[in-house]
Structure 1
Amino acid sequence: MAASEIDIPVRPRILIADDSRIVRLALIKRIDGIFDFREACNGEEAWEMLLADGHIKVLITDLTMPRLDGYGLLQRIRQSSITRLREMPVVVISGSDEQVERERALAAGASDLITKGMETAHLVSRLDVLAKLVATRQEFRRGLEVLAQHVREGIATEFPAKEIFEAEASSLLRHAVQSGRDAVLLNVKIALRQPAGEDCSDVPARTVMAAIGGLLRRTVRQTDHVAQTGEAEFMLATGGINADAALVFARRICHAIADADLPDAGGGIVACCGIASLSDRSAAEGASLPRMQDIARRRAGLGIAQGFIGAVGEEEERVASGGGALMAIEHSDSAVPDAATLLRWIKEGRRDRVGPYLDKLPAELQSLAELVMKRSPI
C-alpha cells in the first residue's frame, strides 16, 4: 500500500513553520492530541511540504525565517494556481500584538494573527474554526443532498428553543466583550428562486428547511450556537472567529445551499447570510444580542431582496444601501461547480449561472468537450 493511501490524518493536520525549535515545540505541546501536525524550519521547506501534502488544512507561520520569510510564503500561497493552497487558512504567529504588524500581515493575506503567549484554549478554538473553513462548496453541497434524503425518510433535526438559543448567544457575547475578543452573529435567510424581476419571498418546503438546518448543525463547532428563528431563517452565534473568516464560511454555506439538488425546492433556492460582529462600527456601540440580531437580519434581508447568494457584511450593506447591486461586489469563491451541477443548471434554464465558469470548466467536462470538437466535421 502506498504511503499516500495510509497517511490520511484522523484529525485536521496543521503545518507549523518557524525557525525556532523552541517555538515549534511549545505550539506542538498545546495542540498535540487535538490536531495532527507537521514541522518546517523555514519558508522554503514549508512551501515544499504544502505542495506535497494535500492533507494540511491550516498553516501557522512565523514572519522572520531564513531562505523564505513569512511574507514571501504568504505571497506564494495567495498567488498559487492550486485552489487548495490559494484558499488555505494561514495563521501568522508573532511575539507581539502590535496593530501595525497585524495590519501588514492581514494585508499580505493572513487569515489570522496570534501571539506566542496566547492561551491554549483560545489557540485551539481559532485553529478549529479555520480548519472547518477548508471544506469546499462541493463538500457542503453533497452533505446537504444526503441530509435532504434523510429528512424525506423521516430523520428530523432537533434545534434548541429560541429562548435557550438567545440565552446561550447572550452569554457568548458578554464573555467576548469582557475578554476583548470578537464574536459574530450570522442570520441565514432562505427563499425560493423567482423569475427575473420578482421578489424572492416564497418560503421553501419544510423538508428543505430541515435539511439546511441539519447542515448547519453538523457544520458548526460544539461551542457555537444555532437555532431556527423563523419560518425561513436560522441564526448562528460564534466566538473566536473574526468577521473576515465568517464571511468566507457564510459564502460557502450559502452557495452550497443554492447549488444543491434538493427535492421540493421548486426552481431553486436563494440563500443569503447577514453578518454582524463586534468589530462592526454599527454593532460595537452598545453591543447586545437584540441589536446584533437586528443588524444581521437587516443585512440578510438586503441580499434576499436582490436575489443575492452569498454573505452581506458591513461593506456590502453600505453598497446596497446606496443603491448598488450586491452581485457586483460579491467576493469570488474560486471553487468551480462540478460537471453534474453545470449540466443541471443548463437543464433548469439557469444558463446565466453557468456563464462565469465557462473559462474554467471542470477537467472532466473540458476533456469531453475537446473530444466532441475533434469528432465534429469541419
Structure 2
Amino acid sequence: MLAKTKPAKIRVLVIDDSRLIRIAASKMFGDDFDVVLGVDGADGWDIIQRDPDIQVVFTDLVMPEMDGFELLKLIRTSNRQAISNLPVIVATGADNPEVAKQKAISLGATDFITKPFDGMAIKARAISYAKYHQANKQLQEHTTLDVLTGLMNAKGLYRQLEKEVAFVARHNSSMTVMSIQVDGFKDLFIRIGRAGTEAIIKKVARVLNDTVRKEDTIARTGVAAFTVSMPLAQGENALELADRICQKVEAFRAKLDGKRMKITVSVGICVVEDNSVSDVETLLDISEQALLKASRRGSSQMSQMTMQEYQALQAQAARDTLSIDTLLAKIEAGQQSEVIPCLDVALERLAPLLMLLSNEQKQRVITYR
C-alpha cells in the first residue's frame, strides 16, 4: 500500500524591516507554513516576482527602500494576474492605525491587523486566504472570461487569435490587432484606489463594447490593458476606430474631490495586409510595440506598426545587442543552427574590421578550415 504524501505547506511571505519581527514570524508560522522572509518592500517585491508559489503576503507599512503602501500599489497594478490577485494582509503598529487602515484598504489590502498579534487568529486568516486564492487561481486557469468586465481574458483571446490567424492565412486576407492601455494607471491607482480604478476599467470595457464591430473580439489582457482583434479590418479603419475610442474615454466625467479627472487611453495598432504574420505571439508583440511607441508620445495617443516596420525594429535591436563572442561560443557548443540566422548582422558588425584586412588575410579567411 502506497503511503499518502503530505500536502505541501502554504507558502507565506512575511515582509518587515525589523529582524525581531521576522524571527517571531518564523517561530509563529514555521510549524504550519513554508515561511519566506523579506527585509523591506523592495526585497518583498523582488521575491513576489521570482517566486510563483507565494500564496499569502504579510507586510509591514513603515519600511525603508519601499514602504507597504508602495508594495501594495505594485502588486495590485501588476499585469500578471497571479500577482495582482495575491491576498495581502497588512500588519502594522502605525501610530494612527485607522488612517493607515483606510489607505491600505483603498489600495487593495485584503485584511489589516495591528501589533501585537494574536498568533492563532493570524494562522487562521492565512489558511483561509490561501485556500481562497488557490481556488480562484484554479478557476482562472480554466475560464476564458474576465470576472471584472465580463470580457474575454488573455487565455481566451489567445485561442481566438489562433483561429483568426489561420483563417486570414487561408484566405490571404488582412487583419488588425489593437493594444489599449489606460494612461498613467499606477498614479491613478494611488489617487483613487482599487475600487475607483476598477470602476474606470469597467467603463473603458463598455466603451469598447459599444464602439467595435460585433464580429470583433475584445479581451482584458492586463490590469488596465485591453486587446481588440479585428479580422479582415484595414489599417485606415482601425485608425478611425482607435481615434473614436480615445475621444470617448477622454469624455468620461470622473471626479475626485469635486474636480474632474482626465482619463485617457493610448492605442497601439498592428496591421497585417499581406499575410505575413503566421503566429499569435508576433501579432501581439507588434501591437505592444506600437502601444509603447504611442505611450512615449504622451496621453491619448495612437501608433500604427506594420510587419515590415516591426522587422526593421527587430533587426536594429539585433544589431545593437549581437555579441560575436556569444556566436563563437554557440558554434563551439555545436549550436550552428542558432548562429545561421545571425550571420548577416554579424557580417555587418564585422565590416569595419574586414576592410582593414590585407588580401593575404582575406584569402586566409576564405580558405579557413
Sort the TM-score into its range (normalised by shorter chain).
0.3 to 0.5
User: TM-score w.r.t. structure 1 length?
Assistant: 0.40
User: TM-score w.r.t. structure 2 length?
Assistant: 0.41
Bigger CA radius of gyration: 2
